Amino acid sequence: MDRQYDRRKHRNGEVNLVRMSSYDNRVSRGGGGRRRRRRAKNSAILLAFSLFLIVSCMGALYYVMRLEARENMSDIEVDGTVDQQTGTVLGKTPERDEDAVPEREEPTTTGIPQGEKIPLVAIDAGHGGVDGGSDRKGVLEKEVNLEIAERLAEKLEDLGFEVLMIREDNDTFITKQDRAAKANEAGADVYISVHQNTYEEQDNEVSGVETYYCEDTEGSKRFAELVHTGVVTATGARDRNLRETDGLYVVREANMPSCLVECSYLTNKKEREAIVTQEYQDKLAEGMAEGIYKFFYGDEQ
């Protein structure tokens, strides 16, 4: 190789001159030049490899940094979507996201408006004591009536009403005269009587809700109508209509808007089985409470 190199050196003037100048010492020293060239070659490879490593590392580092930056960007984008939904500026912390969820509005039929006189509701569970009312297949009317009356009282008190229980246990017998008088003397604002109905035959198909009122008392029709609608809507029971009568002592003699609700037919198997359940009693009481609330605070007043 050295010889060829030398010969080429002689043949080609300019190129050789350049090469002579760069390899000058190596050429003159023979074998030492070979080792130096090899060493130089190795150094060049090492240098190139080092450069390659450095560039690779920097490249990798740059790539990782880009990835991290992109992840942060996507976090911001997710939050940004929430921003658009709520119309507020959000941070990336979950706490602030939760803050952005609007609070639920309070139901419209809870509580009595402040400053208003608190109405007194007389609740009369029909029958009692020796008067058990209707009795079908182990279901005793006086007991069911009291259970519904108690649930209604609880719901009304939760709404802020005052409640007068005409009958408070199943052992006490109260005459119809005493019932009306108790409501009148307490100055109740409305009166509601709770009963269950029966048909002549056992296990008849007849079912549903009837509500009675006496038109002699001002406000009774509207009161009865609101309670009746509330009960029918809440239970989904058959609507057996609002009925006017002057034959029922309690609704006739009570001085205030009053009604008597026949909640179910104990002679109907389906209703008899439903009426003893807490679920159905709650629906009935809920419907009554809604009607009573609307009577005092409804839009149509």
- Which residues contribute to the site for Zn ion (CB under 5 A)? 126, 133, 195
Residues whose CB is less than 8 angstroms from the CB of residue 196 and which lie 6 or more positions away in sequence, other chains included:
126, 133, 134, 141, 144, 145, 262, 263, 264, 265, 266, 275
C-alpha distances (whole Å) from 264 to each of 120, 206, 232, 243 are 26, 9, 11, 15
Residue nearest Zn ion by beta-carbon distance: 195
Nearer to Zn ion, 195 or 228 (CB): 195
- Report, in Å, the least distance between residue 133 CB and Zn ion: 4
Nearer to Zn ion, 126 or 291 (CB): 126
- Report, in Å, the least distance between residue 183 CB and Zn ion: 17
CA distance 254 to 267: 29
C-alpha distances (whole Å) from 95 to each of 36, 85, 92, 101, 152 are 69, 17, 9, 10, 41
- Report, in Å, the least distance between residue 257 CB and Zn ion: 20
CA distance 226 to 107: 19
Nearer to Zn ion, 119 or 208 (CB): 208
Q: What is the dihedral of CA 288, 289, 294, 297, to 10 degrees?
A: 160
Contact 281, 231 (CB under 8 A): no
Nearer to Zn ion, 119 or 133 (CB): 133
Side-chain half-sphere exposure of 46, counting CA atoms within 13 A: 6
Contact 266, 196 (CB under 8 A): yes
- Report, in Å, the least distance between residue 203 CB and Zn ion: 19
- Report, in Å, the least distance between residue 135 CB and Zn ion: 11
- Helix, strand or coil, per DSSP, at residue 131: strand
Nearer to Zn ion, 159 or 263 (CB): 263
- Report, in Å, the least distance between residue 112 CB and Zn ion: 30
Nearer to Zn ion, 159 or 248 (CB): 248
